Amino acid sequence: MRTARAFLTLWLLSFRRLFWSIGTPMLLLPIVACIMFLVRRNYGASDDPVQAFHAFSMFLLTVFASFLVPLCALAFGTAGLGGDREDRTLLFLFIRPLPRGLILLAKYFAALPLVLGFTVGSLWIFCKLAGAPGRAAFDAYLPATLYMSVAYTSLFHLFAALVRHSTVAALIYAVFMEVLLGNVPGIVKRVAVNYYGRSLMYDAGVEHGLNAPDAQWFDPYPPADARTALWAIAIGALVAAWLVFRTREYEEPT
Amino acid sequence: MSESTELTFENVTKFYGPVIGVNDVSLRVGPGITGLLGSNGAGKSTLMKLASGRLKPSLGEVRVGPHAARSSAAKRLLGYCPDVNAFYEEMTGREFVETMTRLYGYSLAEARRRTQTALERTGMADRAERRLKGCSHGMRQRIKLAQAIAHDPRVLLLDEPLTGIDPGGRREINELLRALAADGLTVLVSSHLLAEVEQLCDRLVVVVNGRILAEGTLGELRNLLNDEPLTIRLESPQARLAAALVVALPDTTHVTVRNDSVILRTRNAPAFFAELGRLVAAHQLEVRRLETLDSGAEAVFGYLQRSAT
Amino acid sequence: MGIDAAHYHPWKTNPGGKLGGPLLGAWRGVAAVVRTTLLQLMRRKAYWAIYAVGISQFVVYWVVIYALTQLQLPSGTQRGMLNTFGFSIEAADPQDTGYLDFMEQQSYVVMIMLAFCGSLVVGSDFREGTLPFYLSRRLERRHYILGKLIALVGLIWLFTVLPALILFLEYGMFTTSTDYWRANWRVVPSILGYGTILGVVLALWLAAISAYLQKLAPIAVVWSSLFVLLGRLGFMLSRETGIREWVLLDPWKDLRLAGRLCFGQFRTAGDAQLSATAAWILICVSLVALLALIRRVRAVEVSA
């Protein structure tokens, strides 16, 4: 009972600190930029609904899934644990009787609703602004958004448990693995979470008018396997983070 | 009086990669106030981190009562006031102590009650509504102390607790620590302020190069150093005569006369005091004051460090 | 006790002071800030990890130049490499944009390196309260700002200008005469000019953002939004609306266009037309960043 209460206290503390951090308003900036883009572009006004769906889907694939989702996970996923490491406040948690594994889980479950709130919330707003193509797109792309958000959040918690400058590590990963390798033809792109997410999006979008990608450049993973891969990344990274965090010493020699 | 809990280090060694932080340390810290003395890099912060479970010993074992220091059970018994000046800066002092207390699993009402008590004991109750960002160093130290004692720990670890606190505040904190020790608490204080450790602590542990060099009361430590010269000041209107008499003693190594004072160094303090009594009686010397100048913690620590290197 | 005994320094630089006269003293103050900043950064393993990533691109270019100059490649292969990397085997070929392409392709790693540096060398001065330590010396606000900016420019040059110049030297050394260097000497001022634009603009923007946001995560969010998101949105708007000016939303594009002004080479006539607008955008945003930075440092000076 006492452990559960302590866990809830830490969850609430972490959630509150993340929500009121400077990262939250800063994350609104790219979302506002995307809103302005969608207002200017006005996909709903198109005469060709299939073409409009395709164009809006390309925005979601290249901007939302490839940039915004990892960015939200980076902002909250690395800041939760990484922020405590950066501010040297982690020691106040380590000297409490809460087991280390639970400290990590409290941080993870504090970040996850924020990441999901921002990704799903921004998807909903984007789809609303896109009008008719947006209505179909929200239902089609919501599962992929959820999977990707959870996978990225787990992965960035692993980075936070492993390295001190986890935001830099996450940024390097997001840019070099997700953007560069994620767009290289062939199987190299399997290192990117984004590849599996985009595979799910292509699978869901094709029936609404999204053109299938050129297989030479992007050969989508079968949807069932993509879902499995995203689950495996999410759970595997979280378990790895849990193991690292339990045993690792976060101290400088003095 | 509550049940007492010991802090035990058993053959503890800690490596930081190729660097050895603490080398085969065995130590028992019991109820009362124990001072941990050592220069920078001597290993006292490592000992504190091992005791608080933040570090895992490479070899050996650290226990709080019967529990391993890294276990949750040990952490319930432990209060720790770190030397790091880091906080959740956006919180007020009260919010910080209350949150930290709730992390022990107390209900909100219980945590609030304990927070109030801890803030009162550390003299912060009337200033606890300030944001930590705007608090002075001394106030932050008191808040750190409050979060360490709010859950009524049986072992209290204090890393440089008096840094930045004004003299009046130091007196108050010292009194608080003495009261906690009187209640059977095991208190381990690490400090560079040797004069204050001397006043505060029942026992001293001297750490040099990652090893425990000596432990005991100040008197016991001083007795370890019988071979070390002792500096003595003797005040007399017949200072010149006194100087002439003591300089002839076999163990006297150095004599200086300043107005009515004779400052001398002797290699054998017990023999010197015995001989001085005889000389005073024989020459009817008027001695107004007689004091040893370097039997304090600072000098003892200096001697021990020199003898270790 | 006299005030001298307390080792307080007068606020202004003065002749005969420890740092020398007003001009020399000021310069030494700036140099001290630069040195401290660079050392602070180069002590970090993370910086060297990023540098290793950044230099991998240089290695690729190095190998390409070696292959172009030293190996007898089939003409198709050679042409393919030339197209990919922008180099020409002909001396003084106006289409020889390999160095510029190299500097452009360093953009991602420069962006990451700067996000890291911003929090460490500027943000931490505000977050940890170390700025008053600088300002309590014989340094003024302008010395501090100049020192930090020069340090950041230096770091950017380590990733862009320095390797580009080494590549130019390499190209000349691997040919049998000094003809390549003689014919292409304009490449050197072009690299330096583009490097200066890149350095000054990025350093100003980063210093201003870091002074306000301070922590790594929000800096990374804003910085990557600026350099990745705006680029993508600008590209999509330009393509879908047919209005070319939208590409100027992308700061990298603006920097490239301004940089190509230095090289005097543009991929298309449209690029040449946009380059002046791009330069004005950079100047205006950089001025705003400079004013914001001065304002932020002044606020600390007052509160300290």
Give the domain-ending residue among B216, B240, B270. B216
* Chain mean pLDDT for chain C: 82
Predicted local confidence at residue B3, as pLDDT: 63
Q: Show residues of chain B in contact with A97, CB under 8 Å.
A: 72-73, 75-76, 103-105
Q: What pLDDT, on the 0 to 100 scale, is given for residue C121? A: 86
The answer, for A20 touching chain C at a CB cutoff of 8 Å, is no
- State the CATH number of the domain containing residue B176: 3.40.50.300
**Domain that residue C55 falls in:** 23-298
Asked whether the beta carbons of residue A6 and residue B103 sit closer than 8 angstroms, the reply is: yes
| Whether residue B67 sits in one domain with residue B191 | yes
Strand partners, B298: none
Does a structural domain hold residue C149? yes
Q: CA A191: distance to chain centroid? A: 15
A28 touching chain C per CB within 8 A: no
DSSP letter, residue A165: S
Reduced to 3 states, what is the DSSP secondary structure of residue B261?
strand
C113: in domain: yes
C-beta of residue B101 within 8 angstroms of C-beta of residue B76: no
pLDDT at residue B269, as a whole number? 74
d(CA C221, CA C213): 10
- Summarize the confidence of residues B91-108 as an average pLDDT: 94
B37 and B149 within one domain? yes
Last residue of a domain, one of B148, B182, B216: B216
B61 and B131 within one domain: yes
Q: How does pLDDT run across B123-145, given as a tens digit for each residue?
A: 889 988 999 988 888 889 899 99
pLDDT per residue as tens digits for the range B51-92 = 999 899 999 999 998 999 999 999 999 999 998 888 898 899
> Does A22 contact B at CB distance below 8 Å?
no
Q: Do C217 and A179 touch (CB under 8 A)?
A: no
Contact A180 C108 (CB under 8 A): yes
Q: Are C282 and C197 in contact (CB under 8 A)?
A: yes
Q: What's the confidence (pLDDT) of residue A68? A: 94
pLDDT of amino acid B193: 62
Q: What is the pLDDT of residue C11?
A: 46
Question: Domain ends where: B165, B182, B216?
Answer: B216
**A115 touches C at CB < 8 Å:** no
Q: What tokens appear for C205 in the block?
A: 């923007």
C1 within domain boundaries: no
Chain A residues near residue C228 by CB distance under 8 angstroms: 67, 175, 179
Domain count, chain C: 1
Q: Does some domain include residue C15?
A: no
Tally Cβ neighbours within 10 Å of residue A182.
Answer: 21
Q: Are residues B174 and B241 in the same domain?
A: no
Distance spanning both ends of chain C, measured CA to CA = 25
CB < 8 Å to A87, chain B? 86, 88-89
Q: Quote the percentage of chain B above a pLDDT of 70.
A: 90
Q: Are residues B31 and B119 in the same domain?
A: yes
- Mean pLDDT across C81-105: 67
State the nearest Cα–Cα gap between C177 and chain A, in angstroms.
38
Mutate to test the interface with A, among B14, B67, B72 (most CBs of A within 10 A): B72
Number of H helices, E strands in chain C: 15, 0
Residue C31's CB: how many other CB atoms inside 10 A? 13
> Is there a domain that residue C263 lies in?
yes
Residue B145: which of B204, B189, B105 has the closest Cα? B189
| Percentage of chain C lying above the pLDDT 70 cut | 81
Residue C272 located in a structural domain: yes
Q: How confident is the model at residue A116 (pLDDT cuts 50, 70, 90)?
A: very high
Quote the pLDDT of residue C16: 46
Residue in A19, A21, A88, A92 to test binding to B, most B beta-carbons within 10 Å: A92
Same domain flag for B197 and B238:
no
- For residue B224, the model assigns a pLDDT of 67
Q: Is residue B1 part of a domain?
A: no
pLDDT exceeds 80 at position B43: yes
Smallest CA-to-CA distance from A170 within A187, A193, A198, A190 is with: A193
If pLDDT is split at 50, 70 and 90, which confidence band does A254 have? very low
Q: Which residue of A has its CA nearest to B107?
A: A5
Query: Structural domain of residue B270, as residue ranges?
Result: 230-307
How many domains is chain B partitioned into structurally?
2
Task: Report chain C residues touching chain A, CB-CB < 8 A.
Answer: 44, 46, 50, 53, 108, 111-112, 115-116, 213-218, 220-222, 224-225, 228-230, 232-233, 236-237, 240-241
CB contact under 8 A, B54 and A9: no
Length of chain A: 254
- Touching subunits of A (3+ CB pairs, under 8 Å) are B, C
For the entire predicted model, the pTM comes to 0.83
Q: Kindly report which listed range (A176-185, B103-112, B154-163, C44-53) carries the lowest average pLDDT score.
A: A176-185
Size of interface A-B (CB pairs under 8 A): 79
Q: What is the pLDDT of residue C139?
A: 73
Q: Does residue A35 carry a pLDDT above 80?
A: yes
- Chain A closest CA to B87's CA: distance in Å? 6
pLDDT at res. A140: 94
Residue C168 confidence (pLDDT) above 90: no
| Best residue in A1, A8, A9 for a mutation probing chain B (most B CBs within 10 Å) | A9
Is B105–A249 a contact, with Cβ atoms under 8 angstroms apart? no
B12 and B75 share a domain? yes
Q: Judge whether A242 and A105 are in contact, CB under 8 Å.
A: yes
pLDDT at A190: 84
> Are B42 and B82 within one domain?
yes
pLDDT at position A172, please? 86
Mean pLDDT of C150-162: 93
Is residue A119 exposed (0-12), middle (13-18) or buried (19+ Cβ within 10 Å)?
A: buried
Minimum distance, in Å, between the CA of residue A29 and any CA atom of chain C = 8
Distance from C105 to chain A by nearest Cα, in Å?
Answer: 12
Let me know if residue C9 belongs to a domain: no
Instruction: Choose the closest CB to C213 out of A26, A170, A176.
Output: A26
Distance CA C211, CA C289 (A): 10
Shortest distance, CA C10 to any CA of chain A (angstroms): 34
- Name the least confident of B161-165, C93-97, C286-290: C93-97
H/E/C letters for each residue in B7-21? EEEEEEEEEECCEEE
Residues B58 and B148 in one domain: yes
Cα–Cα nearest to A239, from A227, A231, A250, A229: A231
Q: Does residue B296 have a pLDDT over 50?
A: yes
The neighbour count for residue B133, using CB atoms within 10 Å, is 12
Contact status of A40 with chain C (Cβ, < 8 Å): yes
**Is the Cβ pair A91, B82 closer than 8 Å?**
yes
| Residue (of C251, C260, C236, C241) closest to C283 by Cα position | C251
**For residue B155, what are the β-bridge partners?**
B78, B186
Question: Which one is predicted more confidently, B218 or C20?
Answer: B218
Q: So what's the pLDDT on residue B294?
A: 64
Q: Which residue of A has its CA nearest to C120?
A: A165
Looking at per-residue pLDDT, the higher value among A87 and C161 belongs to C161
Residue B275 has pLDDT above 90, yes or no: no
Any domain includes B55: yes
CA distance A179 to C227: 13
pLDDT band at A101 (very low <50, low <70, confident <90, very high): very high
**Percent of all residues in chain B with a pLDDT value above 90, rounded to a whole number:** 37
- Whether residue B260 is contained in a domain is answered as yes
Of C108, C116, C224, the CB nearest to A165: C116
- Regarding whether B247 and B132 lie in a shared domain, the answer is no
Distances from the Cα of B61 to the Cα of A101, B50, B68, B211, angstroms: 22, 9, 7, 15
Flag if A174 and C50 touch (Cβ within 8 Å): no
Residue C214 DSSP one-character state? -
**To the nearest whole angstrom, how far is the Cα of C107 from the nearest Cα of chain A?**
11
Asked if the interface predicted TM-score (ipTM) of this complex is over 0.85, the answer is yes
Q: What is the CATH number of the domain that holds B280?
A: 3.30.70.100
Amino acid (one-letter) located at A61: L
Comparing C167 with B307, the larger pLDDT belongs to: C167
Q: For residue C301, what pLDDT is reported? A: 61
Q: Is residue C208 part of a domain?
A: yes
A167, C216: Cβ pair inside 8 Å? yes
Which of chain A's residues have a Cβ under 8 Å away from the Cβ of B78? 95
The total of other beta-carbon atoms located within 10 Å of residue C208's CB is: 23
> Which residues in chain A touch residue B21, judged by CB atoms under 8 angstroms apart?
253
Same domain, B237 and B211: no
pLDDT in tens, C198-257: 999 999 999 999 999 988 889 999 999 999 999 999 999 998 888 989 999 999 899 988
The residue of chain C nearest to residue A66, with distances taken between CA atoms, is C229
Assess whether B199 and B268 both reside in one domain: no
Residues near A213 by beta carbon (within 8 Å), at least 6 away in sequence? A202, A219, A220
Mean pLDDT of A68-96: 90
